[in-house]
Amino acid sequence: MQTNNQKKLKNKIFIIWGLFISGVILVLLIFLLLAINKPQPKTDNQNQPTLTSKTNPQQEQETYNAILRKIESEVDELTTEKEIVYKQDGKIIDHIKILDSQTKKLIKIISYHDDGKIITSIKEYNPEGKLSKLTFYLLDGKTISSINEINSEGKIIKTTYYNPDGIVKEIINR
Protein backbone atom coordinates (compact mmCIF):
# COMPACT_ATOMS: atom_id res chain seq x y z
CA MET A 1 0.00 0.00 0.00
CA GLN A 2 0.98 3.50 -0.61
CA THR A 3 1.80 5.64 2.25
CA ASN A 4 0.24 8.98 2.90
CA ASN A 5 3.44 10.76 1.80
CA GLN A 6 3.42 9.01 -1.56
CA LYS A 7 -0.21 10.10 -2.18
CA LYS A 8 0.68 13.68 -1.32
CA LEU A 9 3.65 13.54 -3.66
CA LYS A 10 1.51 12.21 -6.52
CA ASN A 11 -1.09 14.91 -5.86
CA LYS A 12 1.60 17.59 -5.94
CA ILE A 13 2.98 16.21 -9.23
CA PHE A 14 -0.52 16.21 -10.77
CA ILE A 15 -1.11 19.76 -9.58
CA ILE A 16 2.25 20.93 -10.99
CA TRP A 17 1.61 19.20 -14.34
CA GLY A 18 -1.90 20.66 -14.45
CA LEU A 19 -0.58 24.17 -13.78
CA PHE A 20 2.16 23.72 -16.39
CA ILE A 21 -0.26 22.51 -19.06
CA SER A 22 -2.72 25.32 -18.20
CA GLY A 23 0.08 27.89 -18.49
CA VAL A 24 1.19 26.51 -21.86
CA ILE A 25 -2.40 26.62 -23.13
CA LEU A 26 -2.78 30.24 -21.94
CA VAL A 27 0.46 31.27 -23.66
CA LEU A 28 -0.66 29.59 -26.91
CA LEU A 29 -4.05 31.33 -26.71
CA ILE A 30 -2.39 34.71 -26.20
CA PHE A 31 -0.17 34.13 -29.25
CA LEU A 32 -3.20 33.12 -31.31
CA LEU A 33 -5.14 36.20 -30.24
CA LEU A 34 -2.23 38.47 -31.09
CA ALA A 35 -1.86 36.80 -34.48
CA ILE A 36 -5.58 37.07 -35.28
CA ASN A 37 -6.26 40.58 -33.99
CA LYS A 38 -4.70 43.14 -36.26
CA PRO A 39 -4.08 46.51 -34.65
CA GLN A 40 -7.08 48.79 -35.19
CA PRO A 41 -6.50 52.52 -35.60
CA LYS A 42 -7.84 54.54 -32.73
CA THR A 43 -10.84 56.71 -33.54
CA ASP A 44 -10.79 59.47 -30.99
CA ASN A 45 -13.10 62.19 -32.33
CA GLN A 46 -12.29 64.70 -29.64
CA ASN A 47 -8.54 64.93 -30.12
CA GLN A 48 -8.04 64.40 -33.84
CA PRO A 49 -4.73 65.71 -35.08
CA THR A 50 -4.79 68.36 -37.76
CA LEU A 51 -3.90 67.03 -41.16
CA THR A 52 -0.95 68.54 -42.89
CA SER A 53 -1.50 68.86 -46.59
CA LYS A 54 1.18 67.70 -48.97
CA THR A 55 -0.48 69.37 -51.95
CA ASN A 56 0.32 72.88 -52.99
CA PRO A 57 -2.01 75.76 -52.11
CA GLN A 58 -3.12 76.20 -55.72
CA GLN A 59 -4.39 72.60 -55.87
CA GLU A 60 -6.17 73.07 -52.56
CA GLN A 61 -7.82 76.25 -53.82
CA GLU A 62 -8.91 74.53 -57.05
CA THR A 63 -10.40 71.64 -55.08
CA TYR A 64 -12.13 74.05 -52.71
CA ASN A 65 -13.55 76.05 -55.65
CA ALA A 66 -14.76 72.87 -57.35
CA ILE A 67 -16.58 71.82 -54.18
CA LEU A 68 -18.15 75.27 -53.83
CA ARG A 69 -19.30 75.22 -57.47
CA LYS A 70 -20.85 71.79 -56.92
CA ILE A 71 -22.68 72.99 -53.80
CA GLU A 72 -23.88 76.14 -55.57
CA SER A 73 -25.17 74.12 -58.52
CA GLU A 74 -27.05 71.75 -56.20
CA VAL A 75 -28.64 74.68 -54.35
CA ASP A 76 -29.46 76.40 -57.65
CA GLU A 77 -31.20 73.27 -58.91
CA LEU A 78 -33.39 73.21 -55.81
CA THR A 79 -34.28 76.92 -55.85
CA THR A 80 -34.54 77.69 -59.56
CA GLU A 81 -36.46 76.70 -62.67
CA LYS A 82 -34.89 76.28 -66.09
CA GLU A 83 -36.58 77.24 -69.32
CA ILE A 84 -34.72 75.94 -72.37
CA VAL A 85 -35.29 77.93 -75.57
CA TYR A 86 -34.42 76.11 -78.81
CA LYS A 87 -33.49 77.46 -82.23
CA GLN A 88 -36.08 77.20 -85.05
CA ASP A 89 -35.16 73.57 -85.76
CA GLY A 90 -36.37 72.63 -82.26
CA LYS A 91 -33.26 70.54 -81.55
CA ILE A 92 -30.38 72.95 -80.92
CA ILE A 93 -30.35 75.04 -77.73
CA ASP A 94 -30.35 78.81 -78.31
CA HIS A 95 -30.31 79.84 -74.66
CA ILE A 96 -31.42 78.76 -71.19
CA LYS A 97 -33.38 81.04 -68.88
CA ILE A 98 -32.99 80.44 -65.18
CA LEU A 99 -35.84 81.77 -63.06
CA ASP A 100 -36.35 82.05 -59.31
CA SER A 101 -38.79 79.27 -58.43
CA GLN A 102 -40.75 81.46 -56.00
CA THR A 103 -40.83 84.90 -57.63
CA LYS A 104 -40.47 83.69 -61.26
CA LYS A 105 -38.02 86.56 -61.84
CA LEU A 106 -35.17 86.11 -64.29
CA ILE A 107 -31.87 85.24 -62.60
CA LYS A 108 -29.65 84.27 -65.50
CA ILE A 109 -29.61 83.69 -69.27
CA ILE A 110 -27.00 81.34 -70.71
CA SER A 111 -26.54 81.83 -74.47
CA TYR A 112 -24.98 79.21 -76.76
CA HIS A 113 -23.14 79.14 -80.11
CA ASP A 114 -24.90 77.80 -83.19
CA ASP A 115 -24.03 74.23 -82.18
CA GLY A 116 -26.07 74.55 -78.96
CA LYS A 117 -23.25 73.16 -76.83
CA ILE A 118 -20.64 75.90 -76.41
CA ILE A 119 -21.48 78.84 -74.13
CA THR A 120 -21.01 82.31 -75.66
CA SER A 121 -22.23 84.48 -72.79
CA ILE A 122 -24.03 84.56 -69.47
CA LYS A 123 -26.26 87.44 -68.43
CA GLU A 124 -26.96 87.72 -64.70
CA TYR A 125 -29.79 89.78 -63.24
CA ASN A 126 -30.24 91.41 -59.82
CA PRO A 127 -33.36 90.77 -57.66
CA GLU A 128 -35.09 93.74 -59.30
CA GLY A 129 -34.74 92.03 -62.69
CA LYS A 130 -32.11 94.39 -64.10
CA LEU A 131 -28.95 93.20 -65.85
CA SER A 132 -26.07 93.22 -63.33
CA LYS A 133 -23.30 91.19 -64.94
CA LEU A 134 -22.42 90.09 -68.46
CA THR A 135 -19.79 87.39 -68.98
CA PHE A 136 -18.36 86.55 -72.42
CA TYR A 137 -16.53 83.31 -73.19
CA LEU A 138 -13.87 82.29 -75.70
CA LEU A 139 -14.69 79.77 -78.44
CA ASP A 140 -14.00 76.85 -76.09
CA GLY A 141 -17.05 77.87 -74.04
CA LYS A 142 -15.15 77.47 -70.76
CA THR A 143 -12.54 80.22 -70.64
CA ILE A 144 -13.82 83.69 -69.75
CA SER A 145 -12.95 86.41 -72.25
CA SER A 146 -14.37 89.39 -70.34
CA ILE A 147 -16.80 90.36 -67.60
CA ASN A 148 -18.87 93.55 -67.56
CA GLU A 149 -20.34 94.62 -64.23
CA ILE A 150 -23.40 96.85 -64.56
CA ASN A 151 -24.96 99.21 -62.00
CA SER A 152 -28.68 99.60 -61.26
CA GLU A 153 -29.00 102.38 -63.89
CA GLY A 154 -27.78 99.99 -66.61
CA LYS A 155 -24.32 101.53 -67.04
CA ILE A 156 -21.15 99.44 -67.19
CA ILE A 157 -19.09 100.29 -64.11
CA LYS A 158 -16.27 97.75 -64.49
CA THR A 159 -14.88 95.62 -67.30
CA THR A 160 -12.36 92.86 -66.69
CA TYR A 161 -10.49 91.30 -69.61
CA TYR A 162 -8.81 87.90 -69.35
CA ASN A 163 -5.95 86.19 -71.17
CA PRO A 164 -6.66 82.77 -72.74
CA ASP A 165 -4.92 81.14 -69.75
CA GLY A 166 -7.51 82.71 -67.41
CA ILE A 167 -5.25 85.34 -65.84
CA VAL A 168 -6.60 88.89 -65.62
CA LYS A 169 -5.28 90.96 -68.50
CA GLU A 170 -6.83 94.35 -67.76
CA ILE A 171 -9.43 95.94 -65.47
CA ILE A 172 -11.22 99.10 -66.53
CA ASN A 173 -13.26 100.98 -63.92
CA ARG A 174 -15.70 103.54 -65.31
Please tell me the pTM assigned to this model.
0.57
Give me the chain's average pLDDT, please: 86
Domain ranges of the chain: 81-173
Multiple choice CATH, 81-173, 2.20.110, 3.40.50, 3.40.1350, 3.30.1240: 2.20.110
pLDDT tens string 69-102: 888 888 877 778 888 999 999 899 999 999 888 8
In this predicted model, what pLDDT tens digit does every residue of 17-70 receive, in sequence order?
999 999 999 999 998 888 887 666 666 555 555 655 566 888 888 888 899 888
Residues of the chain with pLDDT > 70, as a percent, come to 89
- Write down the pLDDT at residue 148: 96
For position 43, what pLDDT does the model report? 60
Task: Give the per-residue pLDDT at 100.
Answer: 85
Which whole-number Å values give the CA distances from 62 to 9, 16, 66, 116, 137, in the listed order? 82, 72, 6, 28, 20
